[in-house]
Structure 1
Amino acid sequence: MRGNKNEVRLNNGVDIPIIGLGTYSFENDMRTTQYAVQMALQMGYKHFDTAHIYGSEPALGNALCAAMSNGLIERESLFITSKLWGSHHHDPVSALKQTLMNLGMEYLDMYLVHWPVKLKPWVSHPLPKEEDFDKLDLETTWAGMEKCLEMGLCRGIGVSNFSSKKIENLLTFASVTPALNQVEMHPMWKQKKVRDYCRENKIHVSAYSALGGPGNFWGSTAVLDNPIIHSISLRHNATPAQVALRWGLSRGASVIVKSFNEERLKENMGALDLKLEDRDILEIEKMEESKIMRGECYVNQSTSPYKTIQELWDDEI
């Protein structure tokens, strides 16, 4: 619905809810994931983020399909994102069809290239080894993504973990401009260059690890423990998580937060009601920056297209 302040219109005319529930879970506990999605739906969450490699597509699909069949929500009200894993770059159409089977859905709202990395077709684990890499050919991968769109398997296509330089390269051959770039973004990793570039090219930025990824095996509590975030939260009678999320929203991004805890699910939604002042934003702008998800496993000297971390992120690190 146009005019809803909790949604943003993408360059393809589709509206994305600005707070989403991430379903990545290291344990991949199906029942826990389903229960969290059920709770989130009752609290008004409509945007759900998954990926083939998370292993959470079936659990998310079960919870959403049950809610739809019970008349609690209509498919048109939901925004569902999943991602093309590196081992599926050779055939995005088949990969998306499998994702839709996992979810029990007819289409996705957004399908993203998970990383600018191609892996051999049999690689099914999240941390690739040196022998797992294949030759990257983003032009062919993106043509496959455009085919998914053409076939009506998704309403939008985009990228994830792409630097502004990698998007610039993509735009030299893309027939369809990505609708979205999902990247790590929080008060300690502000992504100003990527945000500026994406804004100029009408590409929406969606923030994963919007709280720094606490609870994930690679995550950090540094954002929520930061004294600046704490002092701002006390000033507004809010929580550090709400301050961090509101900062991301104030920069024009949508935010993806992974929590399976009922109180935290409610707390995160409360960020929509918080208003930050100019001085709060200025204080956050002064915070030291540190990237948490560095992607070292995608860098090696022989088989990866990226020999250094700087090459992976094009010095945006």
Structure 2
Amino acid sequence: MASKVPKVKFCNGLECPILGLGTWKSKPGEVTQAVKDAIDIGYRHFDCAYVYGNEKEVGAAITAKIQEGVVKREDLFITSKLWNTFHRPDLVRGALTETLQNLNLTYLDLYLIHWPQAYKEEDILFPVDSEGKIQFSSVDFVDTWKALEPFVAEGLVKSLGISNFNKKQITRLLETATIKPVVNQVECHPYLNQSRLKAFCESQGIALTAYSPLGSPDRPWAKPGDPQLLEDPKIKAIADRLGKTAAQVLIRYQIDRGNIVIPKSVTKSRIASNFDVFDFKLSQEDVQLIDSFDCNGRLVPMTASLGHKDHPFENDEF
């Protein structure tokens, strides 16, 4: 099953399965079984992050499936991310070491700077003042990147990338980086199709990974009456015509655009359904129609750190 998943070739020559399982918002009590199920179904790409608080559970699943002989470590593509409180260069190595220990791995296939903005270096992940406002750090993400680069030569990380960076920030990073980021992982779905950012990234040899491709229906801050991408009648009409689900159409939309895509689920039937997207393609007309839904509809705006000098979305800079 896994062999049918196309791979995206990075600018450094390494490859990544175009479809992976996201683990954001997957609860510790659920994610171990979800990852085990996903490996059995055929997933080989898993997207993790320190801030998700479930790396140990993901690691337990990976370890179990390797011990069972279902997969080898080299069959898997594992991503994790450096959190905002660890941007200071002297903290970067410790953060990676903890992630590797949590996942019970000796190396990551991909390590990302999770967000360009740094937070105050404290033991809590969201350091706040007495009024509940996030406390920022002045660390420059360019310096953070320089601290990450040695990990590649050391074999701790195969590839380095970024997440939630805008065009201006990527440009700044490329001016000084000796190792180019292979990917920019960003929110991407029909209401925010990221066509401008995608075109820029591709012009620089940087692949795009789409998170929240289904519109993040379970995001904690969703309000009643917010648009529900999975319920969009135009998406459902395409799905009905093709004999597929709305989620399968949304996942295939990213694949047909050449984007890596990481839908999240902990439900075995949905994990399986989300993987069943390689027996059809969207027509050019379908893709163009879905492209037309774009309305800069950002669902993960990271409002907690508005006002930070490195917040990526404040000036609508794609």
Give how far 1:31 is off: 3.1
Q: Which amino acid aligns with 1:208?
A: Y
Q: 2:197 aligns with which of 194, 198, 202?
A: 194
- Equivalent residues of 1:115, 1:160 under 8 A apart: yes
Q: In the alignment, which of 232, 243, 249 is matched to residue 226 of structure 1?
A: 232
Aligned partners of 1:67 and 1:73 also within 8 Å: yes
Q: Identify the residue that residue 293 of structure 1 maps to in structure 2.
A: 300
Contact 1:185 1:208 in 2 (8 A): yes
TM-score, length basis structure 2:
0.91
Among 156, 160, 164, the residue aligned to 2:163: 160
Identify unmatched segments of 5+ residues in structure 1.
none
CA RMSD of aligned residues (A): 1.9
- The corresponding residue for 1:116 is 116
Quick one: distance in 1 between partners of 2:81 and 2:137?
A: 18
Aligned to 2:93: 93
Measure how far apart 1:37 and its partner are. 0.5
Does residue 83 (structure 1) correspond to residue 86 (structure 2)? The answer is no
Structure with more relative contact order (C-alpha pairs < 8 Å, separation 6 or more):
2
Distance 2:115 2:280 in 1: 33
2:61 corresponds, among 52, 58, 63, to 63
Q: Using a 3 Å threshold, how does the CA distance of structure 1 residues 5 and 293 change in structure 2: closer, same or farther?
A: same
Task: Give the TM-score, by structure 1 length.
Answer: 0.92
In 1, the alpha carbon distance for the partners of 2:311 and 2:68 equals: 51
Write the deviation string for residues 263-315 of structure 1: whole angstroms up to 9, x where unpaired.
Answer: 11111111222211122112112214211111111113xxx21589423x52x
My pick for the range that moved more, 3-12 or 16-25, is 3-12
Figure out how many residues of one structure are paired with residues of the other and give that number.
307
Q: Distance in 2 between matches of 1:50 and 1:10?
A: 19
For 1:1-317, list aligned pairs within 5 A.
6-25=6-25, 28=27, 30-90=28-88, 91-126=91-126, 130=133, 132-218=135-221, 222-289=228-295, 290-300=297-307, 304-305=308-309, 309-311=313-315, 313-314=316-317, 316=318
Do the aligned partners of 1:299 and 1:308 also contact (CA within 8 Å) in 2? no
CA distance 1:40–1:307, change in 2 (3 Å): closer
Counterpart-to-counterpart distance in 1, 2:273 and 2:127: 32
State which drifts further: 251-260 or 278-287: 278-287
| Contact persistence 1:112–1:157 (CA under 8 A) | yes
Deviation at 1:136, TM superposition (A): 3.1
Shift of 1:228: 1.2
